[in-house]
Homo-oligomer: A and B are copies of this chain.
């Protein structure tokens, strides 16, 4: 399935110079599946370029049809190899696959991640796979902002499945869960055991739990712990019960990956039958709107910072002519 194409068609990740963009043309080419056009559109949304609004408007009629699968877990649990194994499985099933690897700790993006290069080699020459690394610390902050836009781009480019992979640190696993239709939480035996996971609240975001490196000592115990903890949590009738899958993503075609794909499919059927998919997508859109609105407010606050108006208000406060609350009211009235 790989190495047979004319050359690497994974999304080129080098930053492009800023030039005038023929947006309708770019969107048309992305929708035709042209990798460079997809890359360019993602760069535009990721950089929060002024064109981002036009891109969003151009993509709006093409509502997201792709299944969005989130992968999260502590560093070292094998997220990249699991992603690679899933990409392979979906490609073998004839699906077009997008991968967004989000690094919440890096201000850099565009292929700087080692894992990205490894995967690119693996899928180089396969026109059915788009791979993109993203930084989550953008100008306007966070996964919540750029990732949904990038999802829309990949969807417009005809991806059937988009895998969003992020390391589970801080709030990122909660953010990814809000983006994904199905969230996989990865654990490995002996690192980040079930109790740690429960403490960190990640069990609550998991739709499917994956114990990777399941050939290692302690895997049975980790699986048992997780199942016990899942039984403890009271769930209402008709609620989804997260299965616990065991994988060895590095081995051969990826041991246990077929069962994982089946678990994800089962969750998909539940999403549709329960109406949960629609609810999640509305919730996702609401968070996206909020994030954009907050970014806009912050931007406007940034504009008044150091402005003549704020300086005058500050001087009035220092002189005792007004208090900071009344001054803030005046400032807000000017936004």
The answer to whether B290 and A63 touch across the interface, beta carbons within 8 angstroms, is no
Query: Which residue of B148, B318, B328 contacts A324 across the interface (Cβ within 8 Å)?
Result: B148
What class of interface size applies to chain A in its complex with B?
35 or more
Chain A interface, DSSP helix/strand/loop, else mixed: helix
Report yes or no: B60 in contact with A322, Cβ–Cβ below 8 A.
Answer: yes
CA distance A314 to B280 in the complex (A): 11
Among B61, B290, B326, point to the contact of A305 (Cβ < 8 A): B290
Contact A52 B325 (CB under 8 A): yes
Contact across chains for A290 and B310 when beta carbons are under 8 A apart: yes
Residues of chain B lying within 8 A (CB to CB) of residue A325: 52-53, 56-57, 292
Residues of B within 8 A of A322 (CB): 60
Q: Are A56 and B323 in contact (CB under 8 A)?
A: yes
- Check B283 against A293 for contact (C-beta < 8 Å): no
A324–B56 contact, CB under 8 A? Answer: yes
Within the assembled complex, what's the spacing in Å between the Cα atoms of A51 and B130? 55
**A286/B313 contact (C-beta < 8 A), A62-B320, A320-B61, A322-B60 known:** yes
A289 at the interface (CB under 8 A from B): yes
Asked if B301 and A285 make an inter-chain contact with CB atoms under 8 angstroms apart, the answer reads: no
Q: Give A105 Cβ to nearest chain B Cβ, in Å.
A: 16
Binding site for B on A (CB under 8 A): 52-53, 56-57, 59-63, 148-149, 278, 281-283, 285-286, 288-290, 292-294, 296-298, 301, 304-305, 310-311, 313-315, 317-328, 331-332
